[in-house]
Structure 1
Amino acid sequence: MFVFIFAIFLLNDITVVSTSPSRNQFQRIFRSPDWTNIMKRDAYSRIQNQQSNDFSEEVLDQRIEAIKFVQIRTNSGRVRGHKTVLENQSIKPVVKFLGIPYAAPPVGKFRWKKTEKPKPWDGVRNASTFGPICPQARNGPLPAALLPVWYRANHSLVQRMRMDEDCLYLNIYVPAKLYASGKLDLILPSLCLTLICRNLCNPLPVMVHFHGYTYAEGSGNFYDGSVLASYGEVIVVTFNYRLGVLGFMSTMESNSPGNYGLWDQVAALKWVSENIDRFGGDPNSVTVFGSGAGASCIGLLMVSVQLDAYFQRAILQSGTALAPWSMVRNPRQQTLGLARAPSVNCYRESSREMVECLKGKSWRDLISVAISTEPYDLAFSPVVDGQDMFLVDNPFNLMEKGEFLNYPVMIGVSPGDGFGYLRDRILYPSGKSFGSDLFDVVVAKFTDSFYDDSEVPLEAIEKLVRFIYTDWADRENPMRLKSSLMELYTDRQFVEPAVRTALHNTNYKNNAFFYTFYHHPGKDPNRSWIESALGEQDPFVFGAPLMGNSAETLFPYNYTKDDIMISTAVMTYWTNFAKNGDPGKGKKQQTRFITEKANCFENVVWPQYEEAGRQHLKISTSPEVGSHYRAQKVELWRSFLPSLSGVSRSSIGDGVNPLKPPRAEPPTISPGTKNPNLATPKVSIFYSDTLTNHRSQPKPSTSETNGLSLQLNITLAVGFVLLFLNIIAFAVVSYHKEKDKYKIDVSTVKT
């Protein structure tokens, strides 16, 4: 009875599911003397019957068709979402709420500050159009290594999108079936509706998407969550967060500590937690998912001390917090390089004054500066910002100690995730084709970027890596060289960090599931050697193949029936995991309502990932459960090379990065100094490989080395001998394994 009395008391604070009655009709309803009795009787009957209120498909379709818009009251004000009918008639319509502000505009004095709450608004906000995307470079060089094929191919679409520094908006996709089934079709105050739904309505699980890929570009607007929401019966949320210089610039001082994009993500999750129940979602069943940098951000949130219980499950697609590219190496240098750019001219001796100058610059001027970086590094990325901030320590150390959220996780990689690093290196400026000599140089440069502070000679490590990744049976084949190099990039930058993350979760008794994605969309005879590249899971996760081919989309592939089958299988796995933490439990795999293509996933059992077997699901047209994915190459980077470079596993807990020589750890945030120690940044090209080995430069003279003591010389000599013996033993074992594997493959083909 209290619920109904409270409903009457708050008549002006209503949530409406509208079948387009006029304003006068609404006024007549509310002013009717019998309104109270009508509302009580109608609401009571609906609540009593809603659990068993199963409509026929025909009746449900009629109720969905009657919906024109849905009006919801959030903490900041009312929003009006609109129903959208999808092109594929097998997928029921959705209600879209677009361009909802989840935070105050990060402009003026709020630039490079923590995210603030959104300002309330009066009236009803028409949520029919997207908000602007966050500032990002539209012209000039792109950090191609971590950008998907589909993004680069359709960059013109991005150029046409509205862009502004006021960009912190989110989008919500709700199955229209939810509002038509009677579960939420109550004309009640929003608070009252929330109380009823929490007990009786069976709210839908929520999936919040984190876009990628390099912290410098992208938008939640790119991803239409309609098909995923309707097919999977979940609520999908996409959102923008600050990017590049505006989202991750850091002086490592209190005047600009960095990680603003991460603070935006926390604010978006908090908004969802506080408001999604008004839309029919369950705030206690929120799954976050993303690719590339989006997945890395999720991993960083899971080790942050600032994150409350805003989500309960996580899906990491080709990215983790342990990826070498997940954090910036030299934040001070990047900031100083920006300030010294002629178009900005903000270099000051005082870091505080420098930041104040940068705040006065237009965002267009800031994003137009091409910041030089070291090879395989990003210009602006998350940082360890110190105590009481976002990240108190390196993610490697935090995860090793178990200081991360123990939520169920689903982690996956694609065999071509490293293709972006190779894409622009197949032909070099000199015009010389990619051969074994250039292969050796690229491998050396790549290895040096991780072990330049190694206690053992870099030549030995480089020779070992080249030996492992060289196909000695076909060494001069350019196609095989490209494939080997792509495997090198993929293993080091994606597979090893993903396996390490999965093992950390299983070691601390978290439910973990691992997958490998072996299917690329459409038919492309020019890329037969690339089965799936970075970002090519996204079209399948969002159901793009079910919507056909369109030139006006970021996923412009010539989709096949196989693509449709894979997409429905992926959406089923993803939404099952969002509902119960297990991709194999819940909705059964089926696609025959869309295509006659047989579903090859119907009888597949996806096991949990464990230390012993390391089982994973291979997602392809011939799915299978495998074990120990690329185990030899993973252990090369995970344990063998760190042991050679002088980084022992016993020292991990003492703050040493086990994957490569320790970076200079950023200090705890302190007040801005008058004369900060900002070194001059190195000048290099985005993700370029200089075709000269740095050891070809003049070596120190003999007089510079005479200071070495005899004891040190003996130690180095003994160490090098032991290293050489280890390399020989490891190489022999590796050669025989690869040889046996090759024989098996050949015999299989002949059979």
Structure 2
Amino acid sequence: MGVKVVIFVLSLCIFESIEKKNKIHSRVADENGPIVNIEDGAILGRVDKTVDQNKTYLAFQGIPYAKPPIGDLRFRPPVPNDKWNGTLNATREGSSCVQGILPVTGSEDCLFINVYTTNLTGSRPVMAWIHGGAFLFGNSSYQKFGPDYILDEDIVHVQFNYRLGVFGFLSTMDEACPGNNGLKDQCLALKWVKKNIRHFGGDPDKVTLYGESAGSASVSYQLQSACAKGLFRAAIMESGSSLCLWALTRDPRATAFKIGESLKLNTSDSNLMVEGLRMINATILQQASLILSTGDLVADPLAGLQFSPVIEPHHEGAFFYNYSDLLLSEGQFHRVPTIIGMNSNEGAVAGDIPELLRLYLVNFDLNPSLLAPADLTNSSYKRDIAALLIKYHYFNILPLSFQTDSVIKFISDDQFNRPIRRMVIDMSRYSPVYFYMFSYEGLLGGVEGERSLKGVGHTEELGYIFRSYVNGRVSSSDVTMRKRMIRMWTNFAKYGQPTIERDPLLQNLDWPRAQPRNLVYMDINSRMTIRRNPFESDMRFYDRIYRLYGSPPYNTY
């Protein structure tokens, strides 16, 4: 997603309720739709049908889980929402969070949660979704992430917004604005689920947290934060990790002060500057922050995003304040069963870069040291040697700007495969990990016509999980693959493992756990296959690079 965001941002800039506790109950209204009563107040939802099995479900959308983070609450951790009088109309989704540049869209009043359930009674497993979007854009809308197929499997589904960009991830690295407010939003949403989901027919002790790309990295951060302890019992991470280079901001304080300077604020003191930023119009602040961060991305596209999670200074309420690689390798995370994986050619998303934008690759020919992993070492000598070895391994002596396939392979390994593999190795020492690669090249992934690049690109697997990614031409094999993905993901939510019995739909396979020295994984394709050690030669090459030139512990990997 890091490179995808570079492309995305470059293109933009080039062209531009109330009852006492323990007396709360749920009921279904007649002509007015379903009503649920929680501690905050009454909530009115709507009735709908799933697209495949025509199963009746109840939708409660746009429920505020936090006070609007506006005014003095801008750049502060989220505050639980106040109770309301009367009945909240939750038949429409709330606003997306502020994002984009031309135009700027969304609102700061955006901390909403959507709940979808087939029955208000009972106690069913829950799946809570965190959307991706490089911590810069996206939302939890039904249009993008319709959970119809998951609801058909009798799961309660939850999805929520969290603050993005400068509003969610500004950090001065001190008490003025420690950072990670977007992650803290997610954690508060999970606390809301823990407290309230039983009123929607969900089991608060059977929550599976899952996400894709930046959403997946968010899941891995929640796994490592004391904030989320006890809030979920399993996790699924699709194409993202806290170890990914793009999932950590490297110099957030400098970025924050650059924004302050660009807006002519007093930057002599963090508190004064942040107070000034609270007074700036949201649209102006969004535009200024995105323009600034784009310049840094152009200069070094592999260095990471300017508004993403940070390693906070030690303070009360810190979400995260240590090296992720250290926490994972030492088992300092919530040891729950996990599914972790990637698509077969994540970097294929870069294959459609217009030639004008492709020119930025020349930076790597002129300065090969940029090819070295951002957190490999502080030694410029070691970095230069490692970078030259990486350049030769992937590109030989030819210029990068003429090697599309090799560049895409490098992007896949550097931005996704290497850090995800490392996370599997670290976590599988302490808890059950089910490793996968999604390699099915179908139509539901959104690729129309003949593929110009072999392999499955970033985000394509979402078309086999959610309703939203619709392609008019869908084959029977596409439908089978969708059913397989739903079966495995919902099995995991129900039972803590993706395969539970001999199932013809899953070719009667038993998906084994990965081990640190035996990286067995499920190759999810037309013919599902158990394999070992994905991208083995390239990953062993990086193992040598880190062994010879790395300086642990690492912020990212």
Shared fold (TM-score, shorter chain, > 0.5): yes
- In the TM superposition, what whole-angstrom CA distance separates every residue of 1:217-261 from its partner, at most 9, and x where no partner exists? 111115444313322210110000011000000111101111100
SS in 1 for 2:512: coil
- CA drift of 1:536 comes to 1.3
SS in 2 for 1:284: strand
- CA drift of 1:441 comes to 5.4
SS in 2 for 1:296: helix
Aligned-partner Cα distance in 2 for 1:431–1:636: 27
Aligned-partner Cα distance in 2 for 1:227–1:447: 43
Structure-1 residue corresponding to 2:88: 125
1:488 aligns with 2:488: no
Aligned-partner Cα distance in 1 for 2:357–2:44: 54
- In the TM superposition, what whole-angstrom CA distance separates every residue of 1:452-484 from its partner, at most 9, and x where no partner exists? 733645553233223322489xx89999x3222
1:375 aligns with 2:301: yes
Aligned-partner Cα distance in 1 for 2:507–2:358: 51
Q: State how 1:667-746 maps to structure 2 within 5 Å.
A: none
User: What RMSD, in angstroms, separates the aligned Cα atoms of the two structures?
Assistant: 2.9
Aligned-partner Cα distance in 2 for 1:442–1:460: 12
1:349 aligns with 2:285: no
Query: Is the 1:303–1:405 contact (alpha carbons within 8 Å) kept by the matching residues of 2?
Result: yes
| 1:498 pairs with one of 405, 420, 432 | 420
1:72 aligns with 2:36: yes
Aligned-partner Cα distance in 2 for 1:335–1:10: 43
Structure-1 residue corresponding to 2:27: 16
| 1:232 pairs with one of 153, 156, 161 | 153
Aligned-partner Cα distance in 2 for 1:452–1:503: 21
Aligned-partner Cα distance in 2 for 1:482–1:499: 24
- CA drift of 1:265 comes to 0.6
Structure-2 residue corresponding to 1:657: 554
TM-score under structure 2 length normalisation: 0.87
Aligned-partner Cα distance in 1 for 2:211–2:135: 12
SS in 1 for 2:228: coil
What letter corresponds to residue 301 of structure 2 in structure 1?
P
Aligned-partner Cα distance in 1 for 2:48–2:177: 42
Structure-2 residue corresponding to 1:108: 71
Aligned-partner Cα distance in 2 for 1:636–1:503: 16
1:418 aligns with 2:347: yes
SS in 1 for 2:497: coil
Query: Is the 1:259–1:382 contact (alpha carbons within 8 Å) kept by the matching residues of 2?
Result: yes
| 2:127 pairs with one of 195, 203, 207 | 207
SS in 2 for 1:220: coil
What letter corresponds to residue 209 of structure 1 in structure 2?
W
Taking every aligned residue pair, what percent have the same amino acid on both sides? 26
- CA drift of 1:610 comes to 1.5
- CA drift of 1:641 comes to 1.0
- In the TM superposition, what whole-angstrom CA distance separates every residue of 1:654-698 from its partner, at most 9, and x where no partner exists? xx32866xxxxxxxxxxxxxxxxxxxxxxxxxxxxxxxxxxxxxx
Query: Is the 2:373–2:414 contact (alpha carbons within 8 Å) kept by the matching residues of 1?
Result: no
Larger gyration radius, structure 1 or structure 2: 1
- CA drift of 1:340 comes to 2.0
Aligned-partner Cα distance in 1 for 2:547–2:448: 42
- In the TM superposition, what whole-angstrom CA distance separates every residue of 1:325-345 from its partner, at most 9, and x where no partner exists? 11101101211121122xx32
Structure-1 residue corresponding to 2:391: 466
- In the TM superposition, what whole-angstrom CA distance separates every residue of 1:613-655 from its partner, at most 9, and x where no partner exists? 3111111112211101112222322x311232252xxxx4xxx
Aligned-partner Cα distance in 2 for 1:588–1:505: 28
What letter corresponds to residue 127 of structure 2 in structure 1?
M
What letter corresponds to residue 226 of structure 1 in structure 2?
P
Structure-2 residue corresponding to 1:614: 519
1:566 aligns with 2:481: yes
What letter corresponds to residue 111 of structure 2 in structure 1?
L
Structure-2 residue corresponding to 1:531: 455
User: Cα–Cα, structure 1 residues 12 and 400, in superposed 2: closer, same or farther, change >3 Å?
Assistant: closer
Query: Is the 1:208–1:289 contact (alpha carbons within 8 Å) kept by the matching residues of 2?
Result: yes
Following TM superposition, the consecutive aligned residue runs of length 4 or more in structure 1 with deviations greater than 6 angstroms are: 9-12, 475-479
Query: Is the 1:228–1:234 contact (alpha carbons within 8 Å) kept by the matching residues of 2?
Result: no
Aligned-partner Cα distance in 2 for 1:439–1:400: 31
Structure-2 residue corresponding to 1:64: none
Query: Is the 1:242–1:261 contact (alpha carbons within 8 Å) kept by the matching residues of 2?
Result: yes
| 2:545 pairs with one of 632, 641, 644 | 641
1:360 aligns with 2:279: yes
User: Cα–Cα, structure 1 residues 401 and 71, in superposed 2: closer, same or farther, change >3 Å?
Assistant: same
SS in 1 for 2:81: coil
| 2:140 pairs with one of 220, 231, 241 | 220
Aligned-partner Cα distance in 1 for 2:154–2:140: 20
- CA drift of 1:13 comes to 5.6
What letter corresponds to residue 460 of structure 2 in structure 1?
E
User: Cα–Cα, structure 1 residues 352 and 583, in superposed 2: closer, same or farther, change >3 Å?
Assistant: same
Aligned-partner Cα distance in 1 for 2:200–2:150: 13
Aligned-partner Cα distance in 1 for 2:486–2:228: 27
Q: State how 1:22-37 maps to structure 2 within 5 Å.
A: none
Q: State how 1:221-260 maps to structure 2 within 5 Å.
A: 221=141, 222-260=143-181
Equivalenced residue count is 524
Aligned-partner Cα distance in 1 for 2:313–2:436: 34
- CA drift of 1:603 comes to 2.5
Structure-2 residue corresponding to 1:515: 436
Q: State how 1:175-324 maps to structure 2 within 5 Å.
A: 175=118, 178=119, 184=121, 201=122, 203-221=123-141, 222-324=143-245
- CA drift of 1:138 comes to 4.4
TM-score under structure 1 length normalisation: 0.65
What letter corresponds to residue 577 of structure 1 in structure 2?
F
- In the TM superposition, what whole-angstrom CA distance separates every residue of 1:176-227 from its partner, at most 9, and x where no partner exists? xx35xxxx3xxxxxxxxxxxxxxxx4x1100000011211111111544431
Aligned-partner Cα distance in 2 for 1:392–1:476: 40
